[in-house]
Structure 1
Amino acid sequence: MVKRTGTRPRIVVSADGRGVVGHAGARLLADIADATGLTRACSEAFAGLRQRRGGHEPGRIAVDLAVTLADGGKAICDLAVLRDQAALFGPVASDPTAWRLLSIMDSAVLRRLSTARAQAREIAWAQRIDTSGGLPQTTAAGQPVPGLVLDIDASIVICHSEKEAATPTWKKSFGYHPMFCFLDNTREALSGLLREGRTGSNTTTDHITVLDDALTQIPDEYRHGTPILIRSDSAGCTHGLLTHIRNLRATGIDARFSVGVAITEPIRQAILTAKQHLQWVPALDSDGEPRDGADICELTGLVPDDGYPPGTRFIVRREEPHPGAQLSLFDTVEGLRHQVFATDTPPGNGSIQFLEARHRGHARVEDRIRTGKDTGFGRFPSRIFAINAAWLQLALTGIDLLAWTQMLLLHGTLATAEPKKLRYRLLHVAARITHTARQTRLRIAETWPWATDLVTAFDRLTALPQPIT
């Protein structure tokens, strides 16, 4: 006789449950928008816009859309998850109403929405300092990186239908080519710019626009009182951008750059000279331990000035190529993979090993963009470019809501988890709503492994210092 193992209990399914809600943890996102003043600031941003008598408040609609995207929604119709659970989320606008809001979000409204995000960010950072003593700190080679670290990068978003300004891309795909700036310390999405697919990666004006928009998102006391490191890949290594970063110091912003450098013929000659005449030192891993098969060397003085800002330093890394590494003909001949970056961090502010590990941390922005594509900007809803540009800003707002939730309300692994894990464990949990003693209670199953984390998060939310209105 064969013994049956691993069988599931038999169930009978019916649709007569009462007081049961899904996505209960997503209420954290809606409440953190209120606690940071984002909902109120969005209402002010949309003040004066025409709306129907007794209709939904436009600022609240924008926040509900951001919550939907942060919760994993892909389209406007996903608002139904919130709308059909009024006991948990309150009244939520219909899909046509949400479409109308997006259609009237012109450049002036988007600027006011950006201001609303900046105001809420200032409150969120103040709450973080009051509750935890300071902002999260970026590390490299096992050492803290002083101040704030901004990462700029662009990525292709493929469109599977004809949309305004969607064009063939340099990767022979079709879609948009937006550019972003993320804050590595907190994983907040500071700014984003929707662009045509054909737009180049090293467009100086776009880099400057995205950087300046990101800087306006940083509260004044940090923008003018904290070192700010701006990282980019080789697309950001343009004289215009580097000069712009250098000129920021004249405005009181202590900005430095760390950008990748394309390996041109002068760079190749500098590497060959360094190979013969200079000392190479081992590269370091993120924990500060030597990295096998990787060495670094400073090329400053061997690379022609070629219009770089005074004080620019060049550092090269060589390593044994890993499977799948992209090798140039130069790398193939030399048998090692080479990467070069430029920085204006002066000598005495960290070894070249630290500076190289610090620059290598820019790769984390790829994860930010990857998860961001699952948080709204991986799919654009409209054929109209202006509506898609508004959608991008709401997606960035949703990313901020996730970052503030983790920064203010969660500890341990959940505070650093990617959105997919956060949704699976916290945001999408089911619960029961009951009404007792004039209170509405959200009851989470006591056997749910992360029930305590969710309850603790709601408790911390209630205890957050409230902004003075």
Structure 2
Amino acid sequence: MSAQREGTFYVHTTGSRPRLVVSADGRGVVSHAGSRLLADLADATGLTRAFSEALRRLRPRGTGHDPGRIAVDLAVMLADGGEAIADLTLLRDQPEVFGPVASTPTAWRLLAGIDPAALKALRAARAAAREIAWLQAGETRHGIPAAQAGGRELPGLVLDIDATLVTCHSEKENAAPTYKRGFGYHPLLCFLDNTGEALAGVLRPGNAAANTAADHIAVLDAALAQIPDAHRHGTEILVRADSAGSAKAFLAHIRALRSRGIHASFSVGWSITEPVRRAIRHLPDRVWHPALEQDGSLRDGAEVAELTGLVNLPGLPEGTRIIVRRERPHPGAQLSLFDLDEGMRHQILLTDTPHGQGSLQLLEVRHRAHARVEDRIRCGKTTGFGRFPSRHFAINTAWLELSLTAIDLLAWTQALLLEGELATAEPKKLRYRVLHAAARITRGARRLHLRIAATWPWRHDLAHAFTRLQALPRPVT
């Protein structure tokens, strides 16, 4: 029960909780104090300055908010868990922490003004900031971490490409019925498995085909443009995708990257055709080897074998290998008639990794780690691209780019500023423990002090993150 008197609420309880008097007149109290970390990191990596240069022509004459700063504030808001442009209110109503923040109409006008040229400039700005963030990781930590599979570190960089469906609950430009009988968009995305960064994304109508080679090529090229030159040309790059990425034109494009000095290889799924079924049936038991779990232990009831040379798949790049995995189906698994007949579930992958660069089991478990991209997408939908704000496709395309920026800010925060469990936590946990921390603003010695609650369990993690942020080497302006 509660009673109200002159704006004050008296909360009475019948349990063991203490009696509270609730009022809405607090001063010097701020919420989401940890999100200031994201805003400062955008400055430290040069992202704010790069966005300002990219969007300079969108700045109104005379006074007004810096368009680049508005874009960064939108990205911070999305990283913090905001879902709509109006959620900028949280930052705007705390000027002592976040400074001047644009109004909702001003943010709308910015998004509406981002045309293809401005979008291209934003992507170039993201790439410039990423290069600085990676240099900072090399100087303050141990550089870009290696991707993991089968209990081992994978060489180089691993790019995961996958599409997802985003439901639209109202009419939006280019929204269309999906193959799952929904309605909305069908964006195609590329994540870096090493760090969880969102390298690139293309917003597509809901009826866009899953296996369109042109879209995969566009996303891959955009993702490669995000990788700093020293890594793009001096590092092995593995491109993973499910069977939607097995279009022969896409695989040929990956192979052709080598002529540009990019040592790229592929690991993609493949559909089980009749020639593949015949080859599987003729495999002797002695060629099957135990499959591995992601920690390197043996996977119970699963085996792998090689079909290279037993199946003729014309049009594939020279040196393509065909690997099959079979496993006892788990309850609820979707099985084909072939699987039902054989009593095992089968999956096929294609890779151009040559013999001698990893065992058959490692190549298979390496490909199976592509499933991590589904977690990246699930978290990305809580970081902006799970809900698009406008009826206009161009605005939603800009929103997707800022959502990818928000995902990068979270990834850089974890790579540069956090340790232990928080360095690998999903956004939901990171927001609950760090970003949404409450604090109090005090003044002393001509300075503002952000005082995190002394009883907050993760106060030291947040305070240490701010300390590491101050110690980051800054780009030369």
TM-score of Structure 1 vs Structure 2, range by shorter chain: over 0.9
Q: Provide, for residues 219-264 of structure 1, a one-character-per-residue CA deviation record: whole Å limited to 9, x for no partner.
A: 0000000000000000000100000000000000000000001111
Q: Which moved more, 1:278-287 or 1:204-213?
A: 278-287
Match of 2:352 among 339, 344, 355: 344
1:18 and 2:27 matched: yes
- Tell me the CA shift for residue 277 of structure 1: 6.1
1:247 and 2:256 matched: yes
Partner-residue secondary structure (3-state), 1:330:
helix
In 2, the alpha carbon distance for the partners of 1:265 and 1:144 equals: 36
- Tell me the CA shift for residue 322 of structure 1: 1.0
Match of 2:364 among 356, 365, 370: 356
In 2, the alpha carbon distance for the partners of 1:90 and 1:16 equals: 21
Q: Provide, for residues 417-436 of structure 1, a one-character-per-residue CA deviation record: whole Å limited to 9, x for no partner.
A: 00000000110111001110
1:458 and 2:466 matched: yes
In 1, the alpha carbon distance for the partners of 2:360 and 2:130 equals: 34
Partner-residue secondary structure (3-state), 2:214:
helix
8 Å CA contact 1:278, 1:297 repeated in 2: no
8 Å CA contact 1:181, 1:210 repeated in 2: yes
In 2, the alpha carbon distance for the partners of 1:403 and 1:212 equals: 21
> Percent of pairs identical after alignment?
68
Residues 25-424 of structure 1 mapped to structure 2, 5 A cutoff: 25-274=34-283, 276=284, 278-424=286-432
Displaced runs of 4 or more, over 3 A:
none
Which letter maps to 2:197? E
Which letter maps to 2:163? A
Which letter maps to 2:121? R
Q: Provide, for residues 156-192 of structure 1, a one-character-per-residue CA deviation record: whole Å limited to 9, x for no partner.
A: 0000111000000111110000000000000000000
In 1, the alpha carbon distance for the partners of 2:158 and 2:180 equals: 29
Gaps of 5+ in 2: 1-12
Q: Which moved more, 1:234-243 or 1:4-13?
A: 4-13
8 Å CA contact 1:242, 1:308 repeated in 2: yes
Partner-residue secondary structure (3-state), 1:12:
strand
Q: Provide, for residues 357-394 of structure 1, a one-character-per-residue CA deviation record: whole Å limited to 9, x for no partner.
A: 10000000000000000000000000000000010001
Q: TM-score, normalised by structure 2?
A: 0.96
8 Å CA contact 1:181, 1:214 repeated in 2: yes
CA RMSD of aligned residues (A): 1.1
In 2, the alpha carbon distance for the partners of 1:234 and 1:266 equals: 17
Residues 431-450 of structure 1 mapped to structure 2, 5 A cutoff: 431-450=439-458
Partner-residue secondary structure (3-state), 2:23:
coil
8 Å CA contact 1:316, 1:340 repeated in 2: yes
8 Å CA contact 1:380, 1:391 repeated in 2: yes
- Tell me the CA shift for residue 303 of structure 1: 1.4
Correspondence for 2:5: none
In 2, the alpha carbon distance for the partners of 1:357 and 1:439 equals: 54
Which letter maps to 1:71? D
- For residues 46 and 332 of structure 1, do their structure 2 counterparts lie closer, same or farther at Cα, with a shift above 3 Å needed? same
- Tell me the CA shift for residue 305 of structure 1: 3.0
Partner-residue secondary structure (3-state), 1:48:
helix
8 Å CA contact 1:204, 1:240 repeated in 2: yes
- Tell me the CA shift for residue 140 of structure 1: 1.0
- Tell me the CA shift for residue 133 of structure 1: 2.3
Q: Provide, for residues 132-159 of structure 1, a one-character-per-residue CA deviation record: whole Å limited to 9, x for no partner.
A: 1221111111111000000000000000
Q: TM-score, normalised by structure 1?
A: 0.98
